[in-house]
Amino acid sequence: MPTRRARIPATKYPVERFTLGNGLRVVLTPDRSAPVIGVAVVYDVGIRSEPEGRTGFAHLFEHLMFQGSENLEKLAHFRHVQGSGGTFNGSTHLDYTDYFETLPSNALERALFLEADRMRGPRLTEENLRNQVDVVKEEIRVNVLNRPYGGFPWLTLPPVMFDTFPNAHDGYGSFDDLESATVADAADFFRRYYASGNAVLAVSGDIDVAEATTLIERHFGDVSARPAPERPDFAEPDLTAERRTSYPDKLAPLPAVASAWRVPDPVTDFTGYLPYVVLAEVLTDGDASRLVERLVQRDRSVTSVGGYLGFMGDPFDVRDPTALLLQSHLPPGGDVDKVLRTVDEELDRLATDGLTDGELARTQARMATHLLRDTDAVLGRALRMAVLEQQRGEPGLLNELPRLVGEVTEEQVRAAAATLRPERRASIEVIAGGGR
């Protein structure tokens, strides 16, 4: 008799939502268990939004937001956060850019002032622009050009799978595009995308809701009201024939391959999307997973294998179009064709024969553990709720994710596996050492 699956309960983090007169959406989730807060501001602009001829601009602008603001000189943001005992950062994604701090709760007003001040306007000067262009170029050198497997597969696979500029272009940017950026370009980008109506503020942790609301209204209420720009339709057709290419990497010690298949819309078809999130983990999460057991342990045709949803790795922070990815590193002289054939065999076997006793429950328990761990910290909670509000208007979905993952059925996982056919696959191969 099959093992009965344990029900994974929902969490119960409180959620308070409101919108200021200038269009800024606010999410508060109090937790008085420790005197710490997480503050996150998410703008609905990412790599897919940057214009042609300005590749890398979304990421470059993230850097510019740390170079001083309306009332603060360069490096003041750093000094005020760190001087309060806090940490901060920002990051650029396909569909949004975020800025965030973790601070002692007595520094809440300071964090709100800092974020509101740069929402009013960063210091966009020629000196700051040229300096940060150089910083981003150095990041590209370090993280892509001079690193083994640099950009694999998040930069190298999208242009194989997609045809349109928003989905296919290099989000880190070309040196030519970065160097040709002007202060006027930056100012236009700010006016268009960094509007209060295009942002979400989330605060999690040791807060009093009434007090936090008053402080938010005080600091953000007079930010100029600008509506969110109309979001373009980034949709494009699914593949009807397999696509595959390769490129040499002189720094790579081993060959590698990554494949991707389109999946349902994560926002408008969340029920259809979730089985693919679970399927990726069934295939690759842990030594007992399907592809680790077959490719690594039994066949020894790869040295490692991983699977995930979304080109940047978080299944719950991306819009359509997106994909399920599998990537592997092979031993010297490894056979990429054999690896792809084996993946097809395992997908067919899963779709036809189903899962073994306990396989799904084990995978779902691990997934729920990761979800709970990631949102246990107040900053993780603030960031996740901000993105859920931004993309869905539903920050409370954070509470439901572990339970919803646990409710995915074997039949849904099998049906998802059946759709991952070779004719819908895009693959890219890394040739180690620059040649065969």
Segment 356-378, tens digit of pLDDT:
999 999 999 999 999 999 999 99
Note the pTM of the prediction, 2 decimals.
0.95
Q: What is the pLDDT of residue 9?
A: 85
The residue among 401, 17, 382, 386 whose CA lies nearest residue 205 is 382
Q: What pLDDT score was predicted for residue 16?
A: 98
Q: Taking residues 59-81, report their average pLDDT.
A: 94
Residues 392-413 pLDDT 10s = 999 999 999 999 999 999 999 9
Domain boundaries, the chain: 16-220, 243-432
Instruction: Return the bridge partners of 246, or none.
Output: 429
> Any idea what the Cα angle at residue 198 is, between residues 195 and 202, rounded to 5°?
110
Give which of 381, 305, 421 is closest to 34, Cα–Cα.
381
Mean pLDDT of 240-263: 97
Q: Do 16-220 and 243-432 show the same overall fold?
A: yes
Counting other chains too, the contacts that 208-214 makes at CB distance below 8 Å and 24 or more residues apart are 208/30, 209/16, 209/28, 209/30, 212/28, 212/30, 212/108, 213/16, 213/18, 213/26, 213/28
Structure tokens at 307: 């699977």
CA atoms within 13 A on the CB side of 417: 27
Q: In what order do the strands lie in the sheet with 256-262?
A: 243-249, 425-432, 256-262, 323-329, 304-309
Examine the pLDDT at 1 and tell me if it is beyond 50. Answer: no
pLDDT of residue 307: 96
Q: What rounded mean pLDDT belongs to the chain?
A: 95
Checking if the pLDDT of 2 tops 80, the result is no
Cα 129 from Cα 89, distance rounded (Å): 19
What share of the chain has pLDDT > 70, as a percent?
98
Per-residue confidence (pLDDT) for residue 3, from 0 to 100: 46
d(CA 389, CA 384): 9
Q: Is the pLDDT of residue 244 over 70?
A: yes
Contact in structure between 206 and 35 (CB atoms under 8 Å): yes
Query: In this structure, which CATH number among 3.30.830.10, 3.40.50.300, 1.10.730.10, 3.90.180.10 belongs to the domain 243-432?
Result: 3.30.830.10
What is the DSSP pairing of strand 25-30 with strand 16-19? antiparallel
Residue 5 reports pLDDT greater than 70: no
Assigned CATH topology for domain 16-220:
Cytochrome Bc1 Complex; Chain A, domain 1 (3.30.830)
Which pLDDT belongs to residue 333? 92
Q: Which stretches of 309-358 are DSSP H helices?
A: 336-353
pLDDT tier for residue 6 given thresholds of 50, 70 and 90 = low
Output the pLDDT for position 268: 97
CA distance 406 to 357: 15
* Interval 8-30 mean pLDDT: 96
Q: Determine the pLDDT at residue 130.
A: 97
The model's pLDDT over 85-105, given as tens digits with 9 standing for 90+, comes to 999 999 999 999 999 999 999
The continuous run of DSSP H or E covering 109 comes out as: helix 108-120
Helices marked H in 225-377: 270-284, 290-291, 336-353, 359-374
Q: Do strands 87-92 and 16-19 pair parallel, antiparallel, or not at all (unpaired)?
A: unpaired
b/e per residue 11-38 (b: at least 16 CB within 10 A): bebebbbeebebbbbbbbbbbeeeebbb
| Highest mean pLDDT: which range of 5-9, 166-170, 229-233 | 166-170
